[in-house]
Amino acid sequence: MTDEPLVSVRNLKKHYPITEGVLSRQVGAAKAVDGISFDIAEGETLGLVGESGCGKSTAASSIIRLEEATDGEVIFNGGGRAGRERNADGTHPNDVTKFDDEELKAFRRDAQMIFQDPSSSLDPRMTVGRSVAELLMVHGMTDKQRRREIVEDLLERVGLEADYYDRYPHEFSGGQKQRIALARALVLNPEFIVADEPVSALDVSIRAEILSLLNDIQEEFGLSMLFISHDMSVVREVCDRVAVMYLGEIVEIGDTDEVFSNPQHPYTEALLSAIPRPDPSDQRENIELKGTVPSPISPPSGCKFHTRCHMVIQSDEYDLEQEDWRALLTFRDKVRAGEIDPEGIREALSPPDADPSVVDDETVEDELRMEFELPETLADDDAEAIVDRALDALTDGEIETAEDELSTFTTPCEEEEPEETDHGNGHLSACLRNKPDTEHGAPLADD
């Protein structure tokens, strides 16, 4: 592995337009990928991790150009010295997003993709040998016997039999199909492979075999790989570096061992806490993400993770337990969104066929506190007084008054977009707690 990047992704964006009316007028956009940047060196495996819906697969298909990017660059095999050279129009000569048909076909020889579901990526009407050999034919190899020899050799390299060439996909197990998909990705001898959740559809007993095979193949062929997964334990096993993605952005990136042992973003910390631990004496806390899950159509201001963050920064006016502050902000956001229905709660608590008015306001307020995990009395007297007034306003049907009261609670996380902090050795994170001046309190972890 060298330091020279094979792939350089720069400020890549993929936004899906939202339209309405007979004229399909655009009224917004879903920001699936919203400005990600990273490098992949020769022979390196970079893991891209995050929850379902964070934009990982969209990023992959945009990088490999199965989808057209909205903005940004994907510079292939030209990110070093050549990366400083530009065309007259300012574009990079090796920018995949600007390739014409001929250049794109050449790129397809050097970059391949392995999909999550091998069954859907294999034509059931074609033998697996023909499916693998098809790429050779598309790229100009007319000798049928030579194509067969190459494919049979690859089938054996991925742990199958050469005579499987003439069998059909339905004759194979899921693990065998993924081996066939790997053979197809390798048939053109590429330099770069994007593996999109390649083992998530497989039984646990088969995953280890496929991951071991991927490692062996990468070493044998000298491949660079972008490995996409939501499973942190899998990423730890196969990746040299890891990039953590949330709502279309990369919030942390660094060497795998460093990120796992010293996470610098609360979202990374939460993902790591979910990894099963075989040692029963390990008392590490499982972090449950609470709060409001944001939409890529209307992402929150500031740090996009602040609506769910268990370490969201408190304003200076109040002194509360961290979990109470999180609960308080979630309650505020639900009131703002119009998702609080005191009268519905009153009706639900009333006996059958009884007038809901028999349920008094105090009971409704207690139910709201319980639903949003607010303590009976907040430790900060000023904060408690505000919550009391907001609850009274809600039970009186004065929603706007409750909103005004709760708007007093603010956090720097929703007002200020975090910049990247460099923790050394290429370990970067984007969290206000890690600002060098620590004006927002102690960092998540000590470097």
Domain range list for the chain: 7-125+168-268, 322-410
- pLDDT greater than 70 at residue 439: no
Residue 219 has pLDDT above 80, yes or no: yes
Give pLDDT, residue 185: 92
| Cβ-contact 26, 65 below 8 angstroms | no
pLDDT higher than 50, residue 165: yes
User: Stretch 353-368: mean pLDDT, rounded?
Assistant: 89
CATH code given to domain 7-125+168-268: 3.40.50.300
> Cα(136)–Cα(130) distance, rounded to whole angstroms?
10
Mean pLDDT over 214-238 rounds to 90
pLDDT at 209 over 90: no
Among 73-82, 139-148, 150-159, 284-293, the minimum mean pLDDT is found in 73-82
Confidence tier at 84 by pLDDT (50, 70, 90): low
Question: Does pTM top 0.75 for this prediction?
Answer: yes
Nearest to residue 429, comparing CAs of 245, 291, 301, 297? 245
pLDDT of 431 above 90: yes
**pLDDT of residue 418 exceeding 70:** yes
Q: What angle do CA 205, 210, 216 make, to 5 degrees?
A: 135
Determine phi and psi for 11, rounding to 5 degrees.
50, 45
pLDDT at residue 98 greater than cutoff 80: yes
Structure tokens at 211: 């991951």
The pLDDT value given to residue 447: 42
- Report pLDDT for 221: 86
What residues contact residue 219 under an 8 Å CB cut-off, 6+ apart? none
Residue 241 binned pLDDT confidence (cut-offs 50, 70, 90): very high
Of the pLDDT bands very low, low, confident and very high (cuts 50, 70, 90), residue 440 is low
pLDDT class of 90 with cuts at 50, 70, 90:
confident
CA-wise closest residue to 295 among 59, 35, 53: 53
Q: Give yes or no for a contact between 439 and 426, defined as CB atoms under 8 angstroms apart.
A: no
Q: Which of 150-159, 203-212, 239-248, 329-338 has the lowest mean pLDDT?
A: 203-212
Looking at residue 441, its pLDDT comes to 54
Is the pLDDT at 201 greater than 80? The verdict is no
- Mean pLDDT for 263-269 is 96
Residue 283: pLDDT over 90:
no
- Residues 6 or more apart from 196 whose CB is under 8 A from it? 56, 57, 60, 61, 113, 114, 115, 116, 228
Write out pLDDT tens, residues 307-349: 999 999 998 999 999 999 999 999 999 999 999 999 899 999 9
Residue scoring higher pLDDT (442 or 72): 72
Which are the contacts of 143, defined by CB distance < 8 A and separation ≥ 6?
none
Q: Nearest to residue 120, comparing CAs of 229, 197, 213?
A: 197
Quick one: pLDDT band at residue 351, thresholds 50, 70, 90? confident
Confidence of residue 80 (pLDDT cuts 50, 70, 90): very low
Average pLDDT, integer, range 117-145: 89
d(CA 445, CA 263): 7
CA gap 255, 41 in Å, rounded? 13
- Cα separation, 366 vs 162, in Å, equals 69
